[in-house]
Amino acid sequence: MNYRHIYHAGNFADVVKHAILALCLEHLKLKDAPFRVIDTHAGIGRYDLAGVEAGKTLEFSDGIGRLIGVDAAPIPPAVAEPLAPYIEIVRKLNAGESLSLYPGSPEIAAQALRREDRLVVNELHPADHATLAATYAGDRRVKVMALDAWTALKALLPPPERRGLVLIDPPFEDRAEFEKLAAGLADARQRFATGTLILWYPVKDPATVAAFYRAIGGLALDKTLRAELLVRAPSDASKLNGCGLFIVNPPWTLKDKLTALLPFLAERLAKGAGAEHRLEGSA
């Protein structure tokens, strides 16, 4: 519970996660029926990139800063369309070409909601929960909770709307987090079989990620995508070398969009030799 995402807001992992989240939300809006978004590890919603915390690491400069920062190269037309839902939300928070605020996953979702849709954001860290609650106090579509994330997952599924998306994005402070993620996936799938489930994970040691996929291999999930991006070769397990998203019931259009987007992000966000992407699944 000591993790504070403000130090990492807008980094390469956020770019990957939030670009994919925005695409999934846009797909949900194609139908008139209302949907619900559940964010189990929400953070504070909006991040001050000009603040002291973000300034200590400047991780955003190698993330969102490489896409729309002052010195960023233009985004090629081939990937402008799949990046558009995400980039538009980032630009909406910032005046002109400046980059001083960054939207976390609650803000990405809140910006995508229609009047009839709902968002439940859960954050256990006391200070971050207070900030999150204050940020969305005036939005009747948003409910803010402060539960253990795995308890919240059980309590909130299935949603009344029977349509929606669940984002599970642990801080991975706990060595058992991958095991908890696998168990959470099994339970969420059982409770909300029709929902889109998005699980984020870090890539430090590839063997740990491989063990996670072996653990979930017996769940007989027939509609999934695995999207990974490495910003360098994973030769040092103490570093965040990349990240991945495991998506259950992804939008049918998502794989084609990521086929174009992930190679571009791997090149644009690279930090060293061995930067690459991976995209596989039955969806």
Tell me the pLDDT tens digit for each residue of 46-57: 999 999 999 899
Instruction: State mean pLDDT over 237-243.
Output: 96
User: How far apart, in whole angstroms, are the C-alpha atoms of residue 63 and residue 69?
Assistant: 9
169, 150 contact by CB (below 8 A): no
| Residue range 83-112, pLDDT digits in tens | 999 999 999 999 877 899 999 999 999 999
Q: Which of 32, 169, 174, 222 is catalytic?
A: 169
User: How far apart, in whole angstroms, are the C-alpha atoms of residue 55 and residue 65?
Assistant: 13
User: How far apart, in whole angstroms, are the C-alpha atoms of residue 147 and residue 140?
Assistant: 20
- Least Cα distance to 115 among 50, 180, 60, 35 occurs for 35
Judge whether 236 counts as a catalytic residue.
Answer: no
| Residue range 150-209, pLDDT digits in tens | 999 999 999 999 999 999 999 998 889 999 999 999 999 999 999 999 999 999 999 999
* Predicted local confidence at residue 150, as pLDDT: 95
Q: Per-residue pLDDT for 116 more than 60? A: yes
Q: Per-residue pLDDT for 283 more than 90? A: no
237, 217 contact by CB (below 8 A): no
Instruction: State mean pLDDT over 144-154.
Output: 96
Q: Supply the pTM of this predicted model.
A: 0.97
Average pLDDT, the chain: 95
* Predicted local confidence at residue 95, as pLDDT: 80
| Residue range 56-68, pLDDT digits in tens | 999 999 999 999 9
